[in-house]
Amino acid sequence: MVHNKRIFCVKAVDSLNELVEKLTQHSWTLCTGFRHGNFLLLNDAFSEDGAQEYAVIAFIAEWPTEGTGTIDGHQIESITVSWCTPALLREILVKVMIDPHSYLDHVLDIPVLARIEAPAVHHCRLCA
């Protein structure tokens, strides 16, 4: 993850289809993150006007009660979602999140300490 000093506003997403729709059909501020199960997708782009790049972080730790804190995990992939069709992004996410054994040759294993905030308390210069 290039932007390891960002504080991310993380929203929970219940289904993989919803996650794919949010990532492929919308543009997001640089501080945006999504949580699906034990995975975070954190915006790692340099500009809202450029390609949307998301770091995929696997975490095992307990999710902070208030949705704000630090998450210890491992970056397992980086996906340029702007270059993906919904079908391709879904295929990649299934391989990375649901069946990682089919993807082991490609998995990154980079330790990450991500700072997160719940939408109710998040305010930063990136989304102002």
Question: What's the confidence (pLDDT) of residue 5?
Answer: 84
Q: Which one is predicted more confidently, 2 or 45? A: 45
- Model confidence pLDDT, tens digit, residues 4-61: 888 999 999 999 999 999 999 998 999 999 999 889 999 999 988 888 999 999 887 7
What the block records as the tokens of 55 is 């770091």
Nearest-angstrom CA–CA distance, 73 and 61: 8
Using a cut of 0.95, tell me whether the model's pTM lies above it. Answer: no
pLDDT in tens, 88-128: 999 999 888 876 656 556 666 778 888 888 888 888 887 76
Q: Tell me the two tokens of residue 13.
A: 């997403």
